[in-house]
Amino acid sequence: MKAIETALEGCFIIEPKIIGDSRGYFFESFNESNFAEAIKQEVHFVQDNQSFSSYGVLRGLHAQAGEYAQAKLVRVLQGEVLDVTVDFRRDSPTYLQHVSVVLSAENKRQLFVPRGFLHGFLVLSQTAEFFYKCDNFYNKDAEIGVKFDDPTLAIDWKIALDELIISEKDQILPYLNQLDR
């Protein structure tokens, strides 16, 4: 496994070692001790989640606040997504900066999203199956978010905004200038 640090401290692109031959391939998607060594911190995942979406579905930008904050290890089992994470840690030198990474079944990359980051993704393929591990349990009352098209963040979602399929919940998220920061 190779961990590539992004421009956001603590956020890593994970590239697994893939063993392939005429039968197909094998890779270890997670090994706690190798993972901790690669990102230089211990993370104990407690919950796995999976979603299936079609082209243009945008999920996010979400996070869990306070004691319910979650770190995530995300990957795509089928299809391709643009995965976006925003540093939402007020004391960070990269506060409100973001990283966008294409994750796909083909490239088998994963993204480690630390606690204190907003996270979202957009489906770029006809369909996509998205899988993620969390180091804390979901709590609906602790969920926070920022609107996907916030001008301060200026995220390039790679497709026209009128092609996006967004839940009602995500459509009514606040812009940064509407939050008490």
132 catalytically annotated:
yes
Query: In 10 A of CB 181, how many CB atoms?
Result: 8
Compute the C-alpha angle 36/43/153, nearest 5°. 105
Task: For residues 84 and 8, give the distance between their C-alpha atoms in angstroms, rounded to a whole number.
Answer: 12
pLDDT at 181: 59
| Residues 79-88: tens digit of each pLDDT | 999 999 999 9
Q: Which of 55, 62, 68, 95 is catalytic?
A: 62
| Residues 96-154: tens digit of each pLDDT | 999 999 999 999 999 999 999 999 999 999 999 999 999 999 999 999 999 999 999 99
pTM above 0.85, yes or no: yes
Q: Which of 25, 95, 132, 175 is catalytic?
A: 132
Cβ contacts of 87 within 8 Å, gap of 6 or more: 8, 9, 11, 94, 95, 96, 97, 98, 116, 117
44 catalytically annotated:
no
In which band, very low, low, confident or very high, does the pLDDT at 180 lie, cut at 50, 70 and 90?
Answer: confident
Task: For residues 58 and 164, give the distance between their C-alpha atoms in angstroms, rounded to a whole number.
Answer: 6
